[in-house]
Amino acid sequence: MGYEANIKSAQSGRRQRLVIVISLVALSTAFFVVISLLQPPSSIKNGVENGVKRNARMAAALSSTVEATADSVITTIDHPAFEIIETDHISEFGASSTLYRHKKSGAEMLSLSTDDDNKCFGITFRTPPQDSTGVPHILEHSVLCGSRKYKTKDPFVQLLQGSLQTFLNAFTYPDRTCYVVASQNTKDFYNLINVYADAVFHPRAISDPMVHAQEGWHLELENVEDELTYKGVVYNEMKGVYSSPDSLLQREAQQSIFPDNAYGVDSGGDPVDIPNLSFEQFAEFHSKFYHPANSRIFFSGDDDVAKRLEIMDEYLSDFEDSPESKPGSAIEWQKKRFAEPVRVRHPYPVSDKGEDGQADTHLMMVNWLMNDKPLTPLEEITSSILDHLLMGTSSSILYKSLMESGLGDAITGGGLANELLQGTFSVGLKGVKPEDVDTVEALVVDILKKVAEEGFTEDAIAASMNTIEFDMREFNTGSFPKGLSLMLGSMREWVYDRNPTNALKFEEPLAELKESIAKDGSKIFQDMIKEALLDNSHRTTVEMYPSKTMEEEQLKEEKDRLATIKDSLKEDELQSIIDKTAELKKLQAAEDSPEERATIPSLDLTDLRKEVTEYPIEVTANEADTGVTVVRHELGSTSGIVYAKLAVDMSGVSLEDVAILPLLTRIMMETGAGEYDSVDLSRRIGTHTGGVSVSSMISGVNQEGADEGAVTTGEHFVTKLLISGKSTSDKTEELFSIFDLILRDAKLDSQSKIIEMLKESKSRGESAIQGSGHAVANSRIRSRYNVLGYISEKMGGVSSLDTVKALLDQAENDFPALLARLENVRSTILESSTCRDGMILDLTGDASVFEKIEPSVKNFLNTLPGDSSEGAVKLQNFYSEAHPWAKQAKEEMAAQAPITDEGFVVPTQVSYVGKGGRLYDVGEAVSGASSVVSRFLGTGYMWDNVRVMGGAYGGFAQFQPRDGVFSFLSYRDPNLADTIDVYDGASAALMTSAADLEKDPDALATAIIGAMGDMDGALGPDQKGSLQFNRWLKRESPEQRQKFRDEILNTKPSDFKEFAERLKAMKDPSSAVVSSKSAFEDAFKSGKSFTLKDIM
């Protein structure tokens, strides 16, 4: 469950899909989600001659596209309870659509028929808030806590525990609430639909105040002499959100630009306002907005349309039509009414660094309301391409100019945000000196004026157009279901009472835009900059200034408020709170009865696929005597696209220089290469490919002769520099040429650009610690027990922040020394005698693609650096010998990653609590049953005790069979010491569960099914190739994969008991916690002490 903010922060590798927007904040999500920068664009000349040249050049740039989906015949399915409003065919995605209206209830339902077996269902309600009590968000959490048909306390978690779902969540936008499920198993899919449909229309929450108390907020008091406190899952979630400077900036930006409509308040809830929400108001909100007439019901996939209609009619027939529902939820347009731009200032919390500490800086962002009337499809696509031209890559003019100005450390604002009724455009900087805030604002406006006057170059337009068109045609949604992406895309129109399928169509407006560009160059973009931005006075500038007392003031305000409430209460009123606290805790701790559990629909073990899915792989060592190993994955169809990876060995790099690998991989993409400056390189990539990236990969491998299913020493691993990319088959020569160019000739000597990168990395790292402290804690814990964990943490964990700071100091004060290190790392990787032996070219495509690209592959292999035969030297065998980094890493671990309890102090209102240790020693076999048990702990004991009773937003249990290390984690947690006590009680609780499972085979089956669901997610073609490549690289046998799967399927209660015993006997346990200074002080009073480090 998540809260979706409107104005997004800039994120690395950011690319916005035009009509299919996926922006989810899921339960345990870290925020992923830039970057060379260009010279001022030259003017695009007018005239017939230049117009003809532009036309030909643009046509060439855009002629190579992904294979289009064939049209299909629309088959309409009728149902007596529904009337058909419209049928359509969305050729862009090969989908036939029918828009239905339920005659009795007035509900609308969009049914998309596709060949996708990952079936998706969603139901969306328009839910505009009137205040910042967070009622839409709290209701989103609460409706999934039991319903008319499904009687358990939390059907949502029962589904998490025992479903094959590929997506199961809900999320709150500023104006709507979405409930979405997906599954590849048809029986499971129907189970999920039924639970969600009953939940939204008939929730227990509207008649049981305890649900509102648990998920929203409640006053808690166990004894009269205790302090009164606020508790509640959403309350604590939003405390975490409001602890982040980036989130505070986004909130202020949105509310400043929308002073008159629903977007001017916080649908997620302001922690100060959440306690003002009464149960009566909460229930009334559901009554008003959760009527079927205010819903938009969505289906997509290869399931039976008639069955969709039958299922939904069962729920919708309970309701009469409500003609007032849609008008009652209509979103008012925010008029562009500012006569002149508005300035807003707001504090954000920082730690007191003392007199010698680094000066705190400001964040600022300039924001525009783009439109106050609906945009045409042409205007929609134009704004998205314009956004990419301005902000899409590090070479985009606005992004580049701001970063090169030296006025700040990192970009704020994600450019265009167009998921709501009205679009906004936001951009600024963080790490700004107070005296430079006005300068940044002026610079933003000046850059836009320059672009409006001079336009964009042909190359820039071609690159942006190809990038977005490739993205749309490929339709690669990663780990998210395609149906979910289609739903969110359609909702951008449908939720505002416009045609849902028009939002998914891009061919016609794209053709219009190409025609306009061919005729008038960049004029269409220049005109939009003038009209939507420069000539638009509905603009705000938000400045966030640091406050060393804000965190303390917030704590004091809350305590004073609660003390005032307590002082105003009579003895019987206090006793009532004590009684309700006890009642809530009793309900939370109570087990669902067998009869209640039986109401939740479930699968049987017989519904599970018993065999591991294997994907094609063909390995050719020393292909064509080049010394390079080529790995091919020939799939049924990849729509004319080849997915390629070049892996180059890095084992010769010293461990001291491992920490600069993240910097090197960014430099390879962002500073230019060979004859190309950063701008030209970025445009070449954008014009000819679907994207190129560089990363470093460290992968543990199975040691020769060792048991595949046993805990490894962590000393056997492979280390690769990975260049990845994709293109259509006719552009593979270009793709490989770019690979070779950035591998050999990336420019390492751009001091100013490297300083920009390091400042940005520092800013991002600090934000990650504050916003994703659970991931930071987990990484730190694992660094103490395993060489691989230590190296990974060194490169990307909390300790890497110190490395970034040191590198920044070196870049600013001794750049020649840093340059020498970078050059040495590259020359070591490209050592001619060894580099080809460590090279692997991994290719994923279909038969037609492989046939077409073969000449390009042969040419690429022959032109790669290194000796192919004479003079070539074999690298060590990493599968039989320890990696060169392992010995030194083991020596460093004692000093750099001691097994101790550490606390990392940041300004925050919540905690991220981690504790872990070793459960299995090296060489001990780990059964697949361990996956079932650890998942059972996470979705059961941790959910109940850390989230439901503890009030944290999330609680997790993570176990890695390869290293034998287990960790407990919490996310946005109001507790610290109490949470550690919960962790310490897990073994006893698990032992009790083991005994209970002996008498409850259905519960055991549920746990097994859930674990199997985690193994079998839907994969795109590139993911299938990557998965099989990684299996091969690790030397993981199909037999071992099947053995592990069989062990999951055959899990027994005794496996739970054994795991519980290992938890009780956990070796060398230690903690890592991200929290505030005051929380650590309170924990110390409870007997929990930590070695503290001030991070910010």
Nearest alpha-carbon partner for 188 in 1016, 1070, 790:
1016
Q: Following DSSP, what letter does each residue of 355-386 receive, concatenated? A: TTSPPP-EEEEEEEE--SSPPPHHHHHHHHHH
**Could you give the angle at which helices 884-896 and 787-796 cross, rounded to 10 degrees?**
70
Q: What single letter denotes the amino acid at residue 754?
A: I
Residue 610: Cβ within 10 Å count? 11
Annotation marks residue 215 as catalytic: yes
CA distance 10 to 803: 23
Instruction: Give residues with Cβ within 8 angstroms of 964, minimum separation 6.
Output: 711, 918, 919, 920, 921, 922, 924, 926
Region for residue 354 given its phi and psi (left: phi exceeds 0; alpha: psi -120 to 50; beta: otherwise): left
SS (H, E, C) 1033-1082: HCCCCHHHHHHHHHHHHCCCHHHHHHHHHHHHCCEEEEEEEEECHHHHHH
Angle at 180 between CA 179 and CA 181, to 5 degrees: 135
The token pair at 490 is 């359609």
- Partners of 698 in the beta sheet? 719
Nearest to 453 by CA among 383, 523, 514: 523
Residue 197 parent element (H or E) = helix 186-201
Q: Is 87 exposed, middle or buried (0-12, 13-18, 19+ CB in 10 A)?
A: middle
Q: CA 133 to CA 145: how far, in whole Å?
A: 20
Instruction: Tell me the two tokens of residue 82.
Output: 């529904």
Q: How many whole angstroms separate alpha carbon 149 and alpha carbon 146?
A: 8
CB contact set of 662 (below 8 Å; sequence gap of 6+): 696, 761, 795, 796, 800
Question: Residue 140 catalytic?
Answer: yes
Report CA-CA distances (Å) from 305 to 87, 97, 106, 499. Answer: 13, 10, 19, 20
CB atoms within 10 A of CB 888: 14
Q: Which two tokens stand for residue 110?
A: 């969009």
Please give the structure tokens belonging to residue 128.
């505009």
Pairing mode, strands 902-905 and 965-971: unpaired
Measure the CA–CA gap between 411 and 447, rounded to whole angstroms.
Answer: 15
Compute the distance between CA of residue 356 and CA of residue 732 in angstroms, rounded to an integer: 54
**At how many degrees (to 10) do helices 929-936 and 1038-1049 cross?**
50
d(CA 447, CA 444): 5
Q: Are 238 and 274 in contact (CB under 8 A)?
A: yes
Q: d(Cα 794, Cα 788) in Å, to the nearest integer?
A: 10
Residue labelled with tokens 């299909």? 72
CA distance 911 to 973: 5
> Residue 138, class by beta-carbon neighbours within 10 Å (0-12 exposed, 13-18 middle, 19+ buried)?
buried
Catalytic residue among 92, 215, 237, 458: 215
Cα distances (Å, whole numbers) of residue 320 to 105, 109, 297, 495 = 5, 16, 17, 21
Q: What are phi and psi of 618, to 5 degrees?
A: -135, 120
Residue owning tokens 């005698």:
833
SS3 703: coil
- Helix spans in 216-304 (H): 233-241, 245-257, 279-289
DSSP secondary structure letters along 660-727: THHHHHHHHHHS-BTTB-HHHHHHHHHHHSS-EEEEEEEEE-PPTTS-TTB---S--EEEEEEEEEEE
Choose the catalytic residue: 140, 252, 419, 670: 140
| Residue 841, token pair as written in the block | 């070219």
Residues identified as active-site = 140, 215
